[in-house]
Amino acid sequence: MTVAGGAASRMFRPRGVGEAVEMLAVARESGDVVALLSGGTDLVPALRSGERVADAVVALRRVLELRVRGAGADSLTIGAGVTYTDLVGWSLAPGLARAARVVGSAQIRNTGTVGGALGSARPAGDLLTYLTAADAEVLTASPRGLRRRPLERFLADPLAADSLITAVRLARPGGPQVYVKIGGRQAAYPAIVSCALVVDRVRHRVACAIGGVGHLPARMGGAESYAVGEVDWTTGTIPAPAVRRFGDLVVEAVAGIGPALPVRPGESADYRWHAAGVLAGRALARCLHPRTDRDGAS
Ligand SMILES: Cc1cc2nc3c(=O)[nH]c(=O)nc-3n(C[C@H](O)[C@H](O)[C@H](O)COP(=O)(O)OP(=O)(O)OC[C@H]3O[C@@H](n4cnc5c(N)ncnc54)[C@H](O)[C@@H]3O)c2cc1C
């Protein structure tokens, strides 16, 4: 294949994960720079512009086993080839469905995949922010076998050139979860700041991830612990002042990360931090009904 811009000269089209791993190994042995292609929404523009260069492309579209999603007793497994559109109506994972629904345009949702979202690891990637809050694990395949790692460890270690992502796994939701974002233009653009909030009413946990304030979405550990202590787990409610305090703690935490990302003209790091606090408070209030003193007395 020759992508405009002259990037890749060889195209492999495996039909299974094993075959894809073999093709990666063969291409690697011959010294080729290989790129994995899923939906191509990020990779194709990068090859065209010359930002990425590849001698060979391994296209994963025909690998049907990557396009499966499933539910076990305790976990959900989502194949790397599952598209945003496949996730939009998935009632088993409402936060994930919501994150998928607000991605780009219909074309991007029809084409972009879970594996591509992890491969690109955008700072405010909608799926990445949600998966960070959901404590997801990433499953990979290579000539050395299958591997399963927490998302954080996966992101810290670049994927080996002979490996591919096969799926992500997360716990079945144990309570309400929401995903909210602020984008440059509503819907059709990646987020400037995003927030995923996942509540587990069984294990009494609150998880909050903020995208767009550092090079990767970040967990808000201090704010999470504070919220856990304030929730009335019997009723699933939280005092209204605690929601405001939660937002303030998120602002403090993201300001501590520092303005690592370039801000666009007319925007400031302060704006992002403020937006993160507003989104986090809004997300918490949607998951856990805010209680005023009057509610408590009645
Ligand atoms: C106009 C536009 C709007 C967008 N809007 C949004 C938005 O609102 N929210 C958002 O989050 N993103 C958005 N995106 C980004 C993009 O759609 C996502 O990052 C998408 O999930 C990428 O998936 P893909 O299947 O197209 O990946 P590809 O482009 O095929 O690949 C992306 C990267 O991942 C690697 N890769 C692909 N599959 C695998 C695999 N199985 N294992 C290992 N590596 C792999 C590739 O080599 C490449 O480096 C937008 C993009 C565009 C062009």
Q: What is the pLDDT of residue 5?
A: 47
Cα dihedral value 255, 242, 178, 125, nearest 10:
0
| CATH fit for domain 64-171, picks 3.40.50.150, 3.30.700.30, 3.40.50.300, 3.30.465.10 | 3.30.465.10
Instruction: Give distance in angstroms: CA of 191 to centre of ligand 1.
Output: 14
Q: What is the pLDDT of residue 224?
A: 98
Tokens of 206: 């609150």
- Residue 109 is predicted with a pLDDT of 96
**CA atoms of 279 and 179, how far apart (whole Å):** 9
Residue 215's φ and ψ, nearest 5 degrees, are -70, -20
When mean pLDDT is compared over 94-98, 269-273, 291-295, the highest value belongs to 94-98
DSSP 3-state of 123:
coil
pLDDT band at 50 (very low <50, low <70, confident <90, very high): very high
User: Class for domain 177-291, per CATH?
Assistant: alpha beta
Atom of ligand 1 nearest to the CA of 66: 41
SS3 of residue 248 by DSSP:
helix
Domain formed by 10-59, architecture: 2-Layer Sandwich (3.30)
Which residues does ligand 1 sit against, CB inside 6 Å? 35-43, 60, 80, 103-104, 108, 111-113, 115-117, 119-120, 122, 125-127, 159, 164-165, 189-190
**pTM across the whole model:** 0.94
Question: Which of 120, 146, 165 gets mutated to test ligand 1 (max ligand atoms within 8 A of its CB)?
Answer: 120
